[in-house]
Structure 1
Amino acid sequence: MAALATAVAAAAAAQQQNDSCSSTAGAGRQFQNWKMKADQAKKVEFIRTAEKLKTQLANIEKDKNGHLYNRKSDFRVEYSILEELEHSMTVSRKTEKAKILQQLSKIQNNVKRLQQQLKDVKPTPEFVDKLKEMMEEVENAVNAFKEEQRQIYEQLLKEEKTAINELSVFERKVELWALGSSTSEKVLKLPSARVSVDKTLENHLPEEVVEFERFLQRTGGRQGGWDDYDHQNFLKVWTKHKGRLSYVDEALEYLCGRTKEDIEKHDKWYQEFLILHERKKESIKKWKEKQQQEKEGNLKEKQKSEKMLKEEWLHHEEAQKQKAEEERKRQQAAIEAWKKQKAIAFAMEQASQVKLEEEKEKKHQKEHQRQCHMKLLSERYTLQKKEKEELEKLEKEKREEAEKEERKRIAAEEITKFQERDLHKLELRILQKQAKEVEKREKEKRLAKLREKVEMHVTRDRSRLYRPTKGWEERVKGVGPRASEPLLRIPRRAVPAWRQGL
């Protein structure tokens, strides 16, 4: 039996060594298969949930149409308004559906185009850059689609929450109408009873617990007076930044309608809430320890009483044992014979049991190695992803810094060019002005010289006004008096050449 167990152990060790070598090679494939199975399970679960919701929606629409489009209803006027609202919402829903289908078809076309490119891979830098650009385009489109849908869902959740609150208020009003005045009086009496109960509890609760409850009542509950949506977004951003003040700018993006002062006040409230809550937990812990100590004291007393009862029972048991011992000796002989017969069968069974246990241990070790390897792969993938994200973040920051420096340099060059252009224009204007002034002075000099040449100084002679002109003297030079001859023609004044023909 020992030799058989040794041989089995040696074979198990050799098989384990071989399996450890082959498990590393097949771990990648197992991880891929496990991931594919998980994705397939998620898809099936999503489709099942979608079908269930679709069936519920059909039933709700059927009930709604039964009430809404009932022509014999007494509230037909109000229902007509609901019909118009239903029609407009149906149109908007169809429009949104068409828009989403268009976006999905665009993303699908981009993915198909990328798959076509991957079928004919070329090891060139241009092809790699083209693939990278196409992958970035697909990724950006998917991220934009996800972000748009997330914003739509958040808005719908806000509207749903508002509608639920309004419905709860209306239901409460209807209940109050149904209960009548007597119930209203009981409702008014409830706060006083609650105050008395709270005072009774405060007398028995630790001081830290009472202080924490008073703080919650004074500040608006476990959310500081905020609604659940805003408080959850605040906790998400606050936890991400670990309480540092740099979270305020990011929190303003998630908390619409909240100012920076509101967030700072809520931060102070939350810090005080954490301190008081921690005190409350420590107080409860001390209270529990005290209760445990009291419980242990009671248990010790109980054990002491049980020990006394046990001693009395032992005395009675001793007498019974003596009788049983004689009976046992009689039966011992028969049992020894039976044991000898079962010894051989037990030995064989023990050998098979050892073999099964060794196989079970071997299987357990294989499973443990596989889990360790999967854990290492997962941690390595997470670390690589984190390093990649950090590198991308650093590259993005460097690229933005370089772009900022380039813009500064271009702006400085443009400013210098504008200043030089303005200075050049100013110099041209000054030169033009000086040239005009020089030209004006030269023109004045020329005009002065011309005036000096043309200008004449003539003395006044009044007698020349009634003296005959040179032309008249030449005309009458050869003409004498002829009084004896008849006058044949009437003398006329000569017509100047410049007036002839006018």
Structure 2
Amino acid sequence: MAALATTLCTAKHCSGEGDCSVQQPCTSSLDSVDHRQARQNAAQFLREAEKNRRQIEKLEKERTLSVQCRKNGWTDVCGELEECEKVLGEERNAEKMNLQKQLVKIHNGVRKFQMQLIDVKPTPELIERLKEIMSEVEISINTLKEEQRSCLEELLKEDRTCRQEITAYEKKIENWSLAAKSDPKLPTAPTVKTKLPDSDLPAEVRALESFLQKTGGLYGGWDQFDHQAFLKVWTRHSGQPAYRKEAKMYLPGKTLEEIEQHEDWHQELLYLQDRKREAIQRWKASKQQGRQTRIQSQKEVEEAERREKEAKSQANQHRTEEEKREAARRLEEWREEKRRNEELEKQQRLAEEIQKRRREKEERRRQLEVKLTIEEQLRLRREQEEEEGRRKREEEQREMEERRKEAIKAIKHFKDRDLHKVEAKLQEKQLREKEEEERQRRIAAKLKEKVDSHVSRDPSRLTRHTKGWDERMKHIGPSGEGPVLQMFHRAVPSWRQGL
């Protein structure tokens, strides 16, 4: 999807340029092939998923292991299987939710990209934004593919391991029906052919080999698969007693007593192996000392042999020089033949290069013709569009001129109407003002008729005391004596006093 969207944007961006128009058909054909291949892969994946889903449903319907376990009294095995199934179901649901979230994120990115392509013009900003959206979608798709690939690889590994374990268990069950146990506590071990202990070996090594012969070989009387399963569980729990419950699941044919006996055997084996390693280290040290003595004597022998070889080398030197001259002559002949072959190859390459240039020149000429044809078509289309645009502009100009004339007439009509209204309002206002002046004049005349008394002026009332002042002076007295308030002054610094 990301590759298809990128190709679509490139084609849109190049539609207005002459250089990109030639390469557009080839690119679209490649995109169609990729898209078809992607659809085929998606259809195949969906068919396989549907097939796996039907197989899972069939297996779940046919599952009767839990019922058989309850009938046989294996309640602990049944509980462990149910718990394991529950854990696997939860993990599967969590993985399904995560996958759905990633698919929704990719779907939203594609929808966002599609919304950006609706009714828009191809601008550089839009192309950059589309590229960012496409890169995010592509990163999400690649991340999802990588996660699914790693998950599939892990599942395939687990499937191979399970198949191997099932095959081993089947072989083991078949062997049960054939072999009989002689001792229920300690199973008989197959006869192990071991080499007789050498008297030259340390006592610890002989003790380990004797122990293995007595106890049934490298696996303690068990087969290899059971011993490997025991070691895996024992190592995981570091030898703690809690490993026995899990070991019972991996070894359903063994009892706890047999597992404990095998644990004791394994610890004894580890102890003997440690002693063997220490004895071997000591034995190696003594051998190393004897080896150094032998090396010293060998060096003296080699020195004598070296002198003898030098005498022989002098005789062989002359023969070697003859061989070198012969080899140089053959080398020169080979070089001459190689030079002739290179000249022939160079002529052939030159002829092929000339033919290739002719084909490229013919291809460029053909592409140029196609380009010129397309440019001519584009030029004719642009001229046609310009002619149509010019006619539309002329029609719009005429319509605008007619509307302008009509607007001028309407404006003149509205101006005359407004002028008549303004004059009428002005006359009405003047009439109201005259009526108001007449009414004021009548009111003044009436008031003048009512008021016929004359008031004389008294200049002394301006300097006369008010009643409030007289009331205040009753308590203070006419002399103005009253309480003397304290007057504060600024302090004078000591260094300025007396100046």
TM-score for the superposition, normalised by structure 2? 0.29
Q: Which has the higher contact order (CA 8 A, sep 6+)?
A: 1
Structure with bigger helix share is 1
